Amino acid sequence: MIQQSIVVPGSYNHGYIHQLPLTKHAFPAYPETPPRRTIDSGVLSAIGYTPLICLNQYIDDRVQLHVKLEALNPGGSAKDRPAALMITEALNAGQISQNTTIIESSSGNMGVGLAQVCGYYGLSLICVVDSKAQPQNVQIMEALGAHIVRVDDPEDGDFLGKRLERVQSLVRAIPDSYWPNQYANELNPKSHQTGTIKEIIQEMSVVPDYLFVATSSTGTAQGCQNYLKQHKLPTQVVAVDAVGSVLFGGSHGPRRIPGLGTGCIPPLADGQSFSHVKRVNDLDCVVGCRRMASREAMLVGGSAGGVMEAIYSMRSELRGKSCVAILHDSGTRYLDTVYSDDWVESTLGCNLEDLKQRVGRRKQRKRNRYFVTGVPRLKSKSKFLEHNHSLTVEESKQILS
């Protein structure tokens, strides 16, 4: 039996960062040590309060850059937040029961988030996907008990419109069905207004000058902007959109990276405007992902790569500023696409040498050089030791003595 007074997930802040103040809008300092986490009940209690970390190798060190790692939500993306809130509130309001079938359209991450929530509450879920959905995401949905409905590629390239048509036909055909409608549901931005951005502001000692967010349904960007306006904070929100997306006056065109941009304007996005709009193409997303892997040893998802490349393109004007990027998911589900040289070359038409040139090399820091034995490198004996890798620790010490 479903409990009717369900607490919205998220009750502990384990993010912890240090930074130097760059603006005059300062908040009280964070505790010297983070509080001990208590044991919560159920997987949904782990949603939210994802780590906020400082990056120091991606761009010019004169830019103070932090990233919010939404991939560390239990379902693997920022979509866990609205998925949990939409279903929880519908249960509490009596809009759905244990016999209700949840039906939603998704390019991947929302489907995983809903599959997790519905699996936890014992609800049936039908997720409508298209050919752009990552195979790993679809497999995860199915593993969590979701039923998958695939639509054919639309002739006009409007994948979202095609999925929504199927969702509406299923809702009409299936009794006691419910469509959360992430594209129009105000709980989508609310989950980020009361969660994502609030966590960022609480964890930072200063208000960031810029916030970079990938856009599709625009729920994340809208919720963050609503919070900033509500609290009269001067942070500028940079909406990162895809080339080929119709958001913010864009022109319709082909897009290969799921979760970034859209082929039709969702109701949540109608009339929305942000401080800046930065457009990135598919190759930009790949470059951002590869650069993050090379310089920060992090695998980020396709839209996150686009966000990071948008920041990289603005690096000269961001010097001396504090910036935060919300990274929606992990690159582990993009190994066959974004991180595949064959896919990049065959699908995006970029050869490996050009890609490497765009990504560039990380700057090498000066450091003491050591052998695997732990013995410091000394100039007088270095050549001899370089060709004697089988030496024991004791033999190495004797040579160096």
Q: Residue 382 has what pLDDT?
A: 47
CA 399 to CA 397: how far, in whole Å? 5
For domain 43-73+187-359, give the fold. Answer: Rossmann fold (3.40.50)
Q: Residue 401 has what pLDDT?
A: 57
The pair of three-digit structure tokens given for residue 238, joined into one six-digit string: 């940079």
pTM of the model: 0.83
| Nearest residue to 305 via CA among 278, 277, 338 | 338
Identical fold at 43-73+187-359 and 80-178?
A: yes
Q: Residue 153 has what pLDDT?
A: 84
Q: Residue 205 has what pLDDT?
A: 83
Q: Residue 216 has what pLDDT?
A: 94
The pair of three-digit structure tokens given for residue 359, joined into one six-digit string: 């990504």
250-253 contacts: CB < 8 A, separation 24 or more? 250/279, 252/157, 252/158, 253/157
> Domain spans of the chain?
43-73+187-359, 80-178, 370-401
Residues 65-106: tens digit of each pLDDT: 999 999 999 999 999 999 999 999 999 999 999 999 999 999
CA 319 to CA 60: how far, in whole Å? 8
Q: Residue 20 has what pLDDT?
A: 36
Residues 152-169: tens digit of each pLDDT: 888 777 788 899 999 999
Q: Residue 40 has what pLDDT?
A: 72
Average pLDDT across each block of 10 residues of the chain; the chain has 401 residues. List them in order: 44 40 39 55 95 94 95 98 98 96 94 98 96 90 97 82 94 97 97 98 94 97 98 98 96 92 93 96 98 97 98 96 98 96 97 95 61 48 52 68 57
CATH 3.40.50.1100 fits 80-178, yes or no: yes
Residues 212-248: tens digit of each pLDDT: 999 999 999 999 999 999 999 999 999 999 999 999 9
Q: Residue 400 has what pLDDT?
A: 63
State the chain's mean pLDDT as an integer. 86
Q: Residue 30 has what pLDDT?
A: 39
Residue 281: C-alpha distances to residues 206, 244, 319, 355, 365 (Å): 32, 8, 24, 14, 31
Q: Residue 366 has what pLDDT?
A: 56
Q: Residue 131 has what pLDDT?
A: 87
Compute and round to an integer the Cα radius of gyration of the chain. Answer: 24
